[in-house]
Homo-oligomer: A and B are copies of this chain.
């Protein structure tokens, strides 16, 4: 069986407090998932992620396929084992990066031909191939291969893109269902003949990978509805809303999410991809989004932007040169307990590696802290 989604309670506003039971971890939702593009959440060691309370992280299929290669990772027992991350993982389909990073893309109904941004080599991705790669990586959750509609997009373009995404969703699901038990952790271990099956409570059966469909449709409410309804008919293990946070105004993002959420089955997880700022993730969680991911906390950290209870703080600022206060006085993360703004500013200006690490730890603590508070609040509201 795939995932189990135990809804614990619901608020009038639609917010949901739940447990998402995955092969490698029972994840408390709503959850924010740090992004570990190339098998590492940039600059943050795995034990620190664990201490921060991260229960599920992302891996990017496009990056891992190109380097070190999904077959190598598969031979080594899968992505969890390769990067030494025992908790839950999700891989995207590679679609978004093929469109945003690679060169010379050529899209046909069959799939996408593209050149690697690393060495210019030519590759062809189809829905079936994306599934094979994601099964080889063996995350707890895989994503259907889709085309992320750009913003702005005319209606005709959004319709055509959606047509492709829906056809690819069907093909993704068919191929996935036929092969989802081939994940590396169900394979007997070479040394002792025992599968690397993760420990689950009784009654959870033989855990396998899950596949989520992705709702697209640009910024057109009827296309979004159509997309959601068709995916629900196909019966995925969970549903994502993609193609948001691609440059559109915040109101529009929220409008699209609000349009789609009621159409998705209440007993399956809902994931909004690639969002967002701290206030956004809180807002969407309160509307009923169960899962979110974003590179923002770690990417902003590497540029010296800290998210704090007092707002955004650009640590490069001259005014912090002798500021001995913690980055965020209301934060109890290991960085805020130990280091000053002046020191973080110095590390940034000196180009020291520790800068990215400490800034990222704080920002992730801030994001994960928001979700922890939202979960407590959803719990309290429902009682």
Contact = CB atoms under 8 A, between A and B. Distances in A.
Given A321-B72, A322-B75, A343-B83, A350 B42 contact: no
- Give the bracket for the number of chain A residues in contact with chain B: 35 or more
Interface in A47-63: 47, 63
Contacts of A45: 354, 357-358
Contact of A353 (B39, B340, B342, B356): B356
Interface in A328-349: 334, 338-340, 342-343, 346-347, 349
A350 B82 contact: no
27 contacts: A38-B352, A39-B346, A39-B347, A40-B352, A42-B352, A42-B354, A43-B352, A43-B353, A43-B354, A43-B357, A44-B354, A45-B357, A45-B358, A63-B350, A67-B346, A67-B349, A68-B321, A68-B342, A68-B346, A72-B322, A75-B322, A76-B322, A76-B324, A82-B340, A84-B343, A353-B353, A353-B356
Given A72-B322, A75-B322, A324-B76, A82 B343 contact: yes
A9 interface: no
A63 B350 CA distance: 9
A260 to B, nearest CB: 35
A356 B44 CA distance: 11
A46 interface: yes
Interface in A19-57: 38-40, 42-47
Contacts of A43: 352-354, 357
A84 B338 contact: yes
Contacts of A47: 334, 338
A327 B322 CA distance: 41
A67 B350 contact: yes
Given A82-B340, A334-B47, A346-B68, A42 B353 contact: yes
Nearest to A337: B84
A47 B356 CA distance: 16
A30 to B, nearest CB: 27
A192 to B, nearest CB: 14
